[in-house]
Amino acid sequence: MITLTLLHPVQSTPVQSWSFDQDPVIRIGRAVDNHVVLYSAVVSRYHVELRKVGQQWDVVNIGTNGTYLDGKRVHQAPLSSGNVMRLARSGPNIQIQIQTGTSPASNPATLTDPQVAEPLASPEAFVDSEDAPAPSEEPVAAVDPSGTSASPPDESQGFSVQGIHPFPSAVQLPQPCAHERAKDGDLFCVECGHPLKVWRTIAAYTLLKRLGTSENTFVGWREGHTVVLKTLKPDWAGQAEAIGNFQHQAEALCQLSHPGMPKIYEAFEAGGQSFVVSDLIYGQTLKQWVALRGPLSEVQAVSWILDLCDLLQYLQQQDPPIVHPSLKPSNLIRPTIPHGYNPVVLVDFGEVKQVTPEAGTLVGAVGYAAPEQQTGKATPASNLYSLGGILVYLLTGQEPDAFYRLVDQVFRLQIQDMARLSPAMQGIIEQLTHPRPEDRYRSVQAVVRDLQQLL
């Protein structure tokens, strides 16, 4: 059997795997009739074939942008277990694992969303809770070749909820090796696919690092899959009301399923802490996208906001309605690997949205949080306010607070300062960002109707 594992372009973490047991030829490319379909601008429609000759697998380049094996360009070459194949000079990396013997064949999962995958610009591209990352200051423990951690696992008892989405099937990985090709900063071994070092073990999950600068969000690993684990912030960890609200919201999140948000796999309690486990979305945030490419056209911005509106309508239809606590461009990601997701995915779910350690604590992001949200009284209308701020950033490339001024004793966004916007767009943003909730749009559907008029 041969297993192909798509690696994250920066962290070299496994993103997706395909296993083949009976196929003598495996073709990879952008066209949908390939065995492995990769939507990347640098990948040819039919880019490369893996051919089995006797007991040997060969790689044969058939595309125009070239194929590289362990960094060397090849036309045809024998494959060995542990090789890393790169499609084009700057394209996706695929790790090769060849196992002798037979095993049940696995159906290859292809990417069905016709969206071109974009390369990540930086390691922080998958940060979901903060604008910029910071290296974790927590100590890490080396993983020995047996795959065990120096920290004993925490046993989970009590609170436990399974999500609508079952946890993915275990990826068939070889036994942990000696990690001889490991480099500083790598999270995973490029040869065996196992974590190189861990910080802590929580129930069935290995915690690898903090996600960005967040105090309560972590990158985790289980059975070959990289996930996000979110828990309460340290200031709230000992508060019974906060814990109860976190668990209550975790139960609600486990019942959600929408292509505009990560898959929620489960919520549980371990070591005295409650956790929510979700899919890790790889890609660029809209904040990074605009910073690299400049402001969007109105048509492009409206297209992405309409996808977001579909998710917000779904969340508001829940009983009770769900309000995202931090709706902003750095929490909106364009997935590198679609996996059936929308072109834009909203992340950073799992916060206790209306419980704060003390009255008056700011909730939400400055420039995007509605006035009532800043006092801990968020409503569905608060997310509509955030939509206006997001549109401002996408269309101007500037944070919305740059356009706030005090006029007639009211501190609000001054739409007339954005001259490049069409009058219709100015009107939409002005209504979305009205300081009084009752003067905003009455529903997501009403926003959608006005936005669609701009297409």
Residue at which a domain ends, from 100, 118, 138: 100
User: For the domain that residue 69 is a member of, what is the CATH number?
Assistant: 2.60.200.20
Main-chain dihedrals φ then ψ at residue 16, nearest 5 degrees: -155, 150
| In a shared domain, residues 85 and 172 | no
Tell me phi and psi for residue 19, to 5 degrees. Answer: -120, 140
pLDDT value of position 298: 96
The CATH number that applies at residue 148 is 3.30.200.20
Residue 108 lies in a domain: no
Whether residue 336 is contained in a domain is answered as: no
Assign residue 418 the CATH number of its domain. 1.10.510.10
Say if residue 35 is in the same domain as residue 170. Answer: no
Residue 27, pLDDT score: 94
Is the domain of 61 the same as that of 172? no
Quick one: 389 and 301 in the same domain?
A: yes
Residues 41 and 92 in one domain: yes
* Domain contains 124: no
In a domain? residue 341: no
Per-residue pLDDT tens digits for 123-132 = 333 333 333 3
The CA distance from 328 to 344, in Å, is 12
Q: Is residue 121 part of a domain?
A: no
Domain of residue 170: give its range: 129-279
Domain end point (choices 81, 100, 119)? 100
Number of structural domains found in the chain: 3
Burial class (CB in 10 A: 0-12, 13-18, 19+), 131: middle
Verify that 304 and 439 share a domain, yes or no: yes
pLDDT in tens, 293-307: 999 999 999 999 999
313 in the same domain as 419: yes
Task: Please identify every stretch of the chain with a pLDDT value under 70, giving residue numbers as ranges.
Answer: 10-11, 100-157, 350-364
Domain termination site, one of 100, 118, 144: 100
Model pLDDT, residue 94: 94
Q: How far apart are CA 91 and CA 65, in angstroms?
A: 9
Whether residues 408 and 439 share a domain: the answer is yes
Question: Does a structural domain hold residue 113?
Answer: no
Q: Are residues 135 and 209 in the same domain?
A: yes
Q: Is residue 284 part of a domain?
A: no
Residue 183, domain member (yes or no): yes
Residue 193 and residue 134 share a domain: yes
| 365 and 414, same domain (yes or no) | yes
Please check whether residues 168 and 245 belong to one and the same domain: yes
